[in-house]
Amino acid sequence: MNSAQTIEAFLNALWLEFGLSDNTLAAYGSDLKQFAAWLKHKELPAADDSDVRAFLASQRQAGISSRSTARKLSCLKRFYGYLLREATIAADPTQLVDAPQLGRYLPGSLSENDVEALLQAPEIANNLGFRDRAMLEILYATGLRVSELVGLSFSQINFRQGCLRVIGKGDKERLVPVGEEAMDWVERYISGARQALLGGRQSDYLFVTARGGAMTRQAFWHIIKRYAKQAGIDKQLSPHTLRHAFATHLLNHGADLRVVQLLLGHSDLSTTQIYTHIAQQRLKELHRQHHPRG
């Protein structure tokens, strides 16, 4: 098989065995196609460890971050491990290649005052503004990923119990409680702004656009940036800004780390532990400001 056929077989195997999401499979495919293009006239199964090392070095020379380079190597290791199991190759060219050293990444977060300013930014007198306020309230109240938020349907909401049934990465399901205030915004949005935006049309999606369609991740990301600017927030934002704030503020107020892990849908506690460093920094700042010997 040529490189394209080998990649397709690998992605199909990943989907069948692990049920990975389309986005994850697309990321694997993109990394492998990039390596295949770099190899030029050599097919992927014929690559050796010197090819892998040279490819990773070229990535670093091109200014690609260590984290992205490590992700590409992880993809290659999984790919060649698959080829080895399938007896397509006799030796794994990535076996002795070490990943680059990574610094601990601390996601940016917002203070509670910043979040309050962001929530107050939409003009709720109009239907789009009311929808945006409801989306921001739900995002901060639940810590959902933006993709999970825009994909919410009516069947995922339990108004009586005040929770959401969320389908996360790898199609894993989790129940996430929603506070009374956020649920109140959603209920008022459903009975008012949503009906006006749909204009008699039908949709299973909870949050809809002015044309009655589903909101996209990209569109909502632009909405967050616009409201942040409007609220005077000049910090570096990401699509997960409110998710990070949700986790950090819970920990700042004494929440158990494993509870936050369940709410965020992290399969590994170490992923959640990154937020403890942010919380500790906040505690140190408060100590310095308010303790007489700070």
Indicate if 205 belongs to the active site: no
Pairing between β-strand 157-158 and β-strand 173-177 as defined by DSSP bridges: unpaired
- For the stretch 109-128, pLDDT in tens is 688 899 899 999 999 999 99
pTM: 0.58
The pLDDT of residue 181: 92
**Which of 41-45, 96-100, 149-153, 261-265 is predicted with the least confidence, judged by mean pLDDT?**
261-265
- For the stretch 233-268, pLDDT in tens is 988 777 778 878 887 777 777 776 666 666 776 555
For 130, the 3-state DSSP assignment is: helix
Give the confidence band of 81 by pLDDT, cuts at 50, 70, 90. very high
Give the confidence band of 192 by pLDDT, cuts at 50, 70, 90. very high
Nearest to 261 by CA among 174, 149, 179: 174
For residue 51, the surrounding DSSP H or E stretch is helix 49-61
Question: What is the rounded distance in angstroms from the CA atom of residue 283 to the CA atom of residue 292?
Answer: 15
Half-sphere exposure of 44 (CA within 13 A, CB side): 28
Share of the chain above pLDDT 70, in %: 83
Catalytic residue among 131, 243, 244, 249: 243
Six-digit token pair at 180? 């009374």
Question: Alpha helix locations (H) across 121-265?
Answer: 127-142, 146-150, 180-191, 193-198, 217-230, 241-252, 257-264
Catalytic residue among 80, 140, 227, 275: 275
For residue 158, the surrounding DSSP H or E stretch is strand 157-158
Catalytic residue among 133, 145, 194, 244: 145
Indicate if 282 belongs to the active site: no
Catalytic residue among 53, 71, 77, 169: 169
Indicate if 105 belongs to the active site: no
The pLDDT of residue 5: 92
What radius of gyration, in Å, describes the C-alpha atoms of the chain?
A: 23
CB 137 within 8 A of CB 120: no
Indicate if 145 belongs to the active site: yes
Indicate if 41 belongs to the active site: no
Largest CA distance in the chain: 71
Indicate if 275 belongs to the active site: yes
| Cα dihedral sign, 6-72-97-39 | positive
Where b means 16+ CB within 10 Å and e means fewer, 150-168 reads bbbeeebbeeeeebbebbb
